[in-house]
Amino acid sequence: MEKTQIQNAKRVVRAFYEALDRAQGDEIKAAMAAHCSPNLLWRGYHPFDEITGPEAVAEAFWQPLKHALRPLQRRMDVFMAGENVYTEPGGIWVSSMGHLMGLFDAPWLGIRPTGKLAFLRYCAFHRVEGEQITETAMYFDIPHLMMQTGLQPFPPQTASHQVQPGPQTHDGVMFDPQDPERGRATLDLIDRMVTDLGTWQGALPLEEELRRTWHEDMLWWGPAGIGATYTIERYAKQHSGPFRAGFAERSKTKHICRIGEGHYGGFFGWPNFTAVPTGGFMGMPATGKPGEFRVIDIYRRDGDKLAENWIFIDLLHFWKQQGVDILGRLD
């Protein structure tokens, strides 16, 4: 039964994407209303936050975005579904990840258009009940888009700015049913990795800790402002080490949804955790203020280790909580 429910949920989300992607203007509201619950709960990155109802989501997010990036094309790198490991809120969820691409021909969020090709990194989790989407987490890397236009919203990052590719194995778009055992193995590995990460300052040196669950030539596709990095050694130097050193009072990790299918898995929280900057992270000073980290992580498993990780962090929201309004500077 679960496999049937999972395939049905995929069908619902694919039909939604087909309708939404070809819709223009007021058609966007109709596409949202046809496939989403009237009480849809939509979570998006700053400045959108929580929105209720498909019409409101269309007006606030999709219509302005599709006016700015046109014609908007969805380029998916991962498409998967599964039953939420958490009983609250539970449910069958479908996740997709990739880029929304178009010619940047009109302003969006105060970002000036370039008239050139631009990519907006995105990842979404949709909860499907019957024939409707009832809940969505739609996370997107606005600073990544800003940097494509020549803006520098943050100090120089520790890793590399890239328009990020999909999985090395090109098998992340899973429209067809997958072996449930593979998904469970992926989730088990992610669980072990999160347990190690949750210790923050564990008994093992950082690189040894990472080697328990990561391949030596791991790829970490981080958000703009931090960047992408390659191999355990460089990941430890260019992100994980500086990140751990830059915060205190990290809360326990809390996710809303975690799913796995095939060799892929991922999760999101709202927020995932809070922490207090002690200075140095992203070149910023200590603030003494706790900040929220709204995060999506998508993983690819290769054998008994994790090989790739795509990360979305709402850095605009985090730094606004610290008193730095990145988008406000564009006004």
pLDDT at 201: 61
15 lies in the same domain as 126: yes
183's CB contacts (< 8 A; 6+ apart) are 82, 260, 261, 262, 265
Non-local CB neighbours of 4 within 8 Å, separated by 6+ positions? none
Domain count across the chain: 2
Give the per-residue pLDDT at 281: 85
Range of the structural domain that residue 226 is part of: 180-330
The CATH number linked to 121 is 3.10.450.50
Q: Which of 148, 165, 197 is the last residue of a domain?
A: 148
Whether residue 90 sits in one domain with residue 229: no
Bridge partners (DSSP) listed for residue 128: 92, 133
pLDDT of residue 203: 67
Beta-carbon contacts of 17 under 8 Å, excluding residues fewer than 6 positions away, are: 74, 96
> Are 185 and 106 part of one and the same domain?
no
**The pLDDT value given to residue 1:** 46
Report pLDDT for 157: 82
Centre a 10 Å sphere on the Cβ of residue 187 and count the other Cβ atoms it contains.
21
**What pTM was computed for the model?**
0.96
Block mean pLDDT (10 aa), the chain, length 331: 88 98 97 98 98 98 98 98 96 98 98 98 98 98 96 88 94 97 98 81 83 97 95 95 90 95 98 92 88 97 98 96 92 67
Res 158: pLDDT: 84
